[in-house]
Amino acid sequence: MPLSEIVKLWIKEKYAKPGNVYVGVAHRLDRPVTGLVLMAKTSKALPRLNEMFRLGEVKKTYWAIVKNAPQEAAGTLEHYLVRNEKQNKSYAYDTERADSKKAILDYKVIAKSDNYTLLEVDLKTGRHHQIRCQLAKMGCSIKGDLKYGADRSNKDGGISLHSRRSSFIHPVSKLLIELVAPVPNDKLWLDITQGID
C-alpha cells in the first residue's frame, strides 16, 4: 500500500473524519531512502507547498553514511546531471551537457566511526538521485547504494541516506515550521549519530 494511502487511513482514524480524506504528496523519497516526507492535508495546500519547493523555500537536510570520507570536511558540490530513464540512474558531469540540469548541494562531515563517515547534506536543487549521484562522483558512495558504487548492499535492501530535517515558513500563519525525522532503529545509525542533535 502506498504511503499516502496509509496516511489517509491514519488521518481518517485519528480525526474521526467521515467520507474521503485528501492527502497530496509534495515531494517523494527514493524507495531505499528513509526519513521525512511532506504531504498536504488539503487540495488548497498542495499547490502552495509545490510552489514553495519550486522556489527553494523549503530547506531540506539529509544525513548520509559513506564508507570513504571526503577529502575536505565540508564543501559545495556543483555538477550537471543527466538522467538515464532506462537505467533509472543519473550521471554527474563537471561541465554542461545536452539535457543536463545543474545540481548543487552543500555537505559537511558531522561524525565518524571506525569504518564510516556521517555527512550532513543541504540540498540547493532537487534533481533525480542528486545526493546519491553527486556523492558517488566525489568518491563517497552511500553505504548500501549498489547503483552508485557501494561495494555491497545493506541487509534490508535500503541505502544509508536519511531525510533528516525540513523547515519552511507556513504560508498562512507565517510561523517557522521545523520537522525532524528520527534516524532508523539500526545499530550503525544509532552508533554514528550518538550525541548529535
Residues involved in catalysis: 30
CB contact at 8 A, 66 and 86? no
Beta strands in 89-192 (DSSP E): 89-93, 101-112, 117-123, 161-169, 176-180
* Beta bridge pairs of residue 142: 66
Cβ(186)–Cβ(60) under 8 Å?
no
And the C-alpha cell for 75?
Answer: 564543501
HSE-up (13 A, CA, CB side) for residue 144:
16
Three-state DSSP at 6 gives helix
Three-class SS state of 178: strand
